[in-house]
Structure 1
């Protein structure tokens, strides 16, 4: 079984590679659990999958220079935009799939921290629509 250490993962938001600002990426997808148990279930719970949803979480190293992460994200606040994440920053392939979709940029904390902290911004955005796994 292959093992991997995340050293150079890839994150694009609004078709812009923001990997150079990113120190953490997490894409989570799930399916609602719908209880369909009946008296014929013989005392066992039965479930089906319902609506799918997801979220994209990231931690960015803050940069307020012109055209840097702060101005990019500020311009997207309140919009639904595209994203792509990959385990490695190489091209999509069967061993490096890209997960793509859209997210709502619903929050941006341009300043957060205490004396001596790294200037970081942690975000969590809900997906909007389908998330796809692409290998090419």
Structure 2
């Protein structure tokens, strides 16, 4: 990816796509430095990495009225934990995505008379910030059980984990339910798939985030699969994956 102008960044809160209400999205990550200087340091300060942290800050135009709007989503998640996915360019399958589980730490609204009603908010990470890809795009409605596109993320070394975030953005139908899972295989055709992670059944907009247990996984291909039930069900959802 070369240099580009920010035109279509995406922000997914637990169960809402806030991209259309955002005009600024910033993502930061840092590792705390801990000094280990001693008499054998050769006259130079020595440091090692301590605790890591990440933060997502965003702002844009205020809207309210249903769970997909920024005000409804912000109030519902303020002080709570959930998955967040940020994409710098787009949210098509394979697009670059940054993933974390974090706490919605603050939410601010309002400005002077005559101004477009604004909002600002911040998310503080509770899990590592993970660099990954979009495995399922938000703009494709799913009405039946199906399989996503294979992504080659590479094998998972021992001590590393697969992180997966599910954002259920809209739900329709009578008693609709979707259960998504992350499958792996050693080939793009998924001739012998194995299930690595399984999300809980979802019947309403919301978000979930899962991670592996640190066991090595030799498979290098990953995809999302889903089982849908109900009468005339329809789901819009986004899934992001990454290894760290």
**TM-score, normalised with respect to structure 2:** 0.51
Alignment size in residue pairs = 133
For residues 14-39 of structure 1, the C-alpha deviation after alignment (integer angstroms, 9 at most, x for no partner) is 04221011111011000001111101
Residue 65 of structure 1: how far off its partner (Å): 2.5
Relative to its length, the structure with more helix (as a share) is: 1
- 1:11–1:86 CA contact under 8 A, matched in 2: yes
Higher alpha-carbon Rg: 2
Report matched runs for 1:8-27 at 5 Å: 8-27=8-27
Structure 1: runs of 5 or more not aligned: none
Question: Contact 2:103–2:125 (CA<8 Å) still a contact in 1?
Answer: yes
The equivalent of 1:98 in structure 2 is 97
Contact 1:81 1:102 in 2 (8 A): yes
Higher relative contact order (CA 8 A, sep 6+): 1
Higher strand share: 2
Q: State which drifts further: 20-29 or 58-67.
A: 58-67
C-alpha contact (below 8 Å) 1:15/1:83 kept by paired residues: no
| Structure 2: gaps of 5 or more residues | 134-150, 152-244
Give the TM-score normalised by the residue count of structure 1: 0.89
- CA distance in 2 between counterparts of 1:71 and 1:15 reads 11
1:117 matched to which residue of 2? 115
